[in-house]
Every structure is written in structure tokens, then in C-alpha cells.
Amino acid sequence: MVRTSAGILVFRRRESGAEVLLGHMGGPIWENRDQGAWSVPKGEYTPEESAWKAARREFREELGMDPPAGRFESLGSARQSGGKVVTVWAVPGEIDPRSMVPGTFTMEWPKGSGRIREFPELDRVAWFDMDRASRRILPAQRVFLERLSDLLEADPGEWD
């Protein structure tokens, strides 16, 4: 069975161009990484839940807030290197990264120790211009940045 995730990519316009809100993946595996360690806020779901409902739920779970109200536009799906299929929507909005209250997950750490520890799903969120976002986001998710750029270029006035 194919694993699936869904998420929401919040963006905003600046004079210098679009910026996107990305989350740095939490936990000890990602703590000392920067390039390729940022993600669209997203999470897994099962066939009993729609991708759209999962995207909204996961946004709330990972950031501790509702996604911005606004026009959501599908950025489609992409398969990540591990085989998971990720589906993403974009929405314009303003979010203060300091207002994030991350959800948590548990895992055995250090691996093999028998100790179960709790970690934030995302340990921080930040706004990035498209060039910086492209360098920091998981490589398999760059396609969502490209699709958003195409969308904004095709109808620049629609998103103001």
C-alpha cells in the first residue's frame, strides 16, 4: 500500500517576489541539518480520509493553528524518494512563525536504547524567498515551489 501525505503551502507576496512558509522537521535526525531538512507542513493520512481534510488537519497538528482563510489552489501530487505520495495546496496568508505551537511525536531515542522520547513535529517555521526555499526544502518537494511559481506567474494579479 502506498503511503500518502497531504499539506498546505502558505505563501505571501513581497516587493522582491513570493515567499513561502516552510517547517524544519523536528527530532534528533534532523536537528543539525538545514539544506533539505525543511518541508511543506504536511502529514500522513489513510484512505478513509480525503487528502483535503488531511491537509487541513495536519496543518493544525503541526503548527497549532488553522490554515489561513483564502482561496486554496491545488499544486498536485509528487512521489518522494521513499515512495510516499504527497499532495499539496497553496493559499496566500500571513502567519507569524513565533505563534507556532508544534504537535509532537514519540520515538525511541537513542535508537536501541529502549527510551521513548517526545519531539516536536516541526521545531521551527520560517518564511523563505523562492530561491532560499528551493535550497532548504526536501528535494522531492521542490516541484511544489515550481508549480506555485508557475501559478503566480500565470495570473499575478489574482493573488494580491
Q: Residue 159 has what pLDDT?
A: 58
4-154 CATH fold: Nucleoside Triphosphate Pyrophosphohydrolase (3.90.79)
Task: Average the pLDDT over 81-100 and give the result.
Answer: 96
CB atoms within 10 A of CB 16: 8
Strand residues in the chain grouped as ranges (E): 4-14, 17-25, 38-39, 42-45, 73-79, 85-92, 104-108, 116-120, 122-129
- Residue of 90, 5, 85 whose CA lies nearest to 51: 5
**What's the chain's average pLDDT?**
95
Instruction: Name the residue ranges covered by the structural domains of the chain.
Output: 4-154
Task: Average the pLDDT over 135-145 and give the result.
Answer: 97
Write out pLDDT tens, residues 70-89. Answer: 999 999 999 998 899 999 99
Q: What Å distances lie between residue 137 and 33, 62, 110, 146, CA to CA?
A: 11, 16, 26, 12
**Quick check: 160 pLDDT over 60?**
no
